[in-house]
Chains A and B, each alone.
Chain A
Amino acid sequence: MKRFLLPLVIFLIMVAFLAIGLNLDPREVPSPLVGKPAPAFSLPRLDDSGEMISNKDMLGKVWLLNVWASWCGACRDEHPILVSLSKNGAVPIYGLDYKDTRFDAMQWLAEGGNPYVATAVDESGRVGIDYGVYGVPETYVIDKAGVIAYKQIGPITEEVLRDKILPLVKRLQTP
């Protein structure tokens, strides 16, 4: 009986490791940008290409930067959540329209509602590269000093919003 104990223990340890490994999402690569100042950008606004929008405009407040595109399917899933978040006014959401055409983006917002205070247009994807974007949608929580506090890769779900983003925003907003 005793001679089976050791292989059994080794087997159980392996099972535990494999179970953890299977449940990890390989798409969620920890961003090296968390804890660092948000990369600077200055981009034209979606609703008015003559006007520029910069990350410096948001200094002094906690804000969300949501990277989206009209061609992105998962963005459709999170869109209603963003719209309802914008309505309760807990935190201002800014959009980064990533590698998209202005026409499609405008139409998207007209159809699904516009949760964004403003949307910056990143047509070439250069700003996306600076932010390490690789899977749209992505959302950054940026604090009053302009430092990235959190990065959500993939769509925001009700759970993520309730358990992670909103408590974090509240903590960052308290002076």
Chain B
Amino acid sequence: MTKVWISSLMALCCLMLILNAWADKARPLQDDAVVEAQVQRLSEELRCLVCQNQTLADSHSDLAEDLRQEIRVMAAKGLSDQQITDYLVERYGDFVRYRPPLKSTTLLLWFGPFALLLAGCVGLLQTLRRREKSTEEMPLNVDDARKVNELLNRE
């Protein structure tokens, strides 16, 4: 009976040692608060291409984890936000960014809503002006004036 106890205790110790070693192995890069802040900031700005509507920070997909690790390694090397974003855009395209860059192919995306708003305003103004014109007072001719008077003075 004691043999079983001792061997299971030893097994437990081994397990703890392994877990401990494992924990140490994963730690070093995450210790740096500045790097971690940069990783967090960037992964909130970048899209996970597997889930598409989640940021890298939100996603638990394998690729998102790999990419966060890549970003962490680059951040630890001292690369700037711009350099790291460029690295990812080179591989995955502009779609990886939640804020699309302003360039010729994205002009419609950036200014389309304002163009629609402007068109709506112009349309509204025109309609209002037309309606105003249609309710303008019309001068009465003599016959009509007499008819109106008759109707009004009937009682």
Contact = CB atoms under 8 A, between A and B. Distances in A.
Query: Chain A binding site: helix, strand, loop or mixed by DSSP?
Result: loop
A33 B52 contact: no
Contacts of A130: 91
B67 A26 contact: no
A129 interface: yes
Contact of B49 (A29, A30, A33, A124): A29
Contact of B95 (A29, A33, A125): A29
B50 A135 contact: yes
B52 A132 contact: no
B19 interface: no
B110 interface: no
A31 interface: yes
Contacts of B62: 99, 125
Contacts of B94: 32
A131 B94 CA distance: 15
Interface string A28-44: 01111100000000000
Contacts, number: 37
A36 to B, nearest CB: 9
Contact of B70 (A29, A31, A129): A129
Contact of B93 (A26, A27, A31, A135): A31
Interface residues of B, number: 15
Interface in B63-102: 63, 66-67, 70, 89-95
Nearest to B87: A129
Contacts of A31: 92-93
B121 to A, nearest CB: 16
A61 to B, nearest CB: 25
A29 B50 contact: no
Nearest to A33: B91
Contacts of B92: 29, 31-32, 132, 134
The 4 closest A-B pairs by CB, nearest first: A134-B49, A132-B91, A32-B93, A29-B95
Interface of A: 26-27, 29-33, 99, 124-125, 129-132, 134-135
Given A129-B66, A132-B92, A134-B92, 12 more contacts: A27-B52, A29-B92, A31-B93, A32-B91, A32-B92, A32-B93, A33-B91, A125-B62, A129-B70, A129-B91, A134-B49, A135-B49
